[in-house]
Amino acid sequence: MSPLPERVKAALFAAVIVVSAVGLIAGAQAFRPQPPVLTEGIPLSMTIEGAGWTISYTTNRTTNNTVFLFLLEAARTFHFAVQWSNWSPPYSAVFIDSINGSMNNDGGRWWVFWVDGVYANTAADLTVLAGGEAIAWRFVLSGGG
């Protein structure tokens, strides 16, 4: 049997690479936290500690079950601004830039958050809440998480 021509081998190799890359990206998506769609509200509370100000928000009935969505709900309720930037696919996520006028890197401070006292190591939109959690946003000095 004669060996395959180089161009055919190259095309087959390219196809294997494309299929493998798509499979790996699909596999990564399987690890992405998926918040369930809620039919009934859950209780949540949030405290936001900025530079010289604090906002507290508690509700017994919210269907916004990620830290990011619940932050937006608090912003709509109390009429303060939230700015964020998006990380692109294949593993998109939001990065909070400013809350209520306090912008990241103002005075060397940055926005970070905790859920039930545990430092969050995932993006706010990928942190799913089951109900009953207390979220704390703090505007802390670099490395002060």
Partner 1 sequence: MASRTPAFRKLTKLDIAFLLILVGVGGRLLLLRVANVETVLAASMLAGAFLGWRYSLLVTLAVMGISDALIYALGYGGELGLMSILGLTGFTWSGMVFAGLIGAATGRRRVLFTTRSMALLATVSIPATLLFDVWTAFGDWLFIAGPRGLSLATVYYLQIPFTLIHLASSIVFVPLFGSIFSYLTPAPSHLPMPEPTDGEN
Q: Which residues bind partner 1 (CB under 8 A)?
A: 6, 9-10, 13, 17, 20-22, 24-25, 27-32, 85-91, 93, 104-105, 108, 110-112, 118-119, 121-122, 141-145
Distance, CA of 109 to CA of 120 (rounded, Å): 17
Distance, CA of 19 to CA of 122 (rounded, Å): 28
Instruction: Give the H or E element holding residue 19.
Output: helix 6-30
CB of 130 to partner 1, least distance (A): 18
Using the CB atoms, write b or e for 5-42: b if 16+ within 10 Å. eeeeeeeeeeeeeeeeeeeeeeeeeeeeeebeeeeeeb
Decide whether 39 or 88 has the Cβ nearer to partner 1. 88
Decide whether 83 or 122 has the Cβ nearer to partner 1. 122
Using the CB atoms, write b or e for 86-109: b if 16+ within 10 Å. eeeeeeebbebebbbebebeeeeb
CB of 139 to partner 1, least distance (A): 10
Decide whether 37 or 118 has the Cβ nearer to partner 1. 118
Decide whether 80 or 114 has the Cβ nearer to partner 1. 114
CB of 100 to partner 1, least distance (A): 18
Q: How many CA atoms lie within 13 A of 109 on its CB side?
A: 17
CB of 18 to partner 1, least distance (A): 8
CB of 7 to partner 1, least distance (A): 9
Decide whether 33 or 132 has the Cβ nearer to partner 1. 33
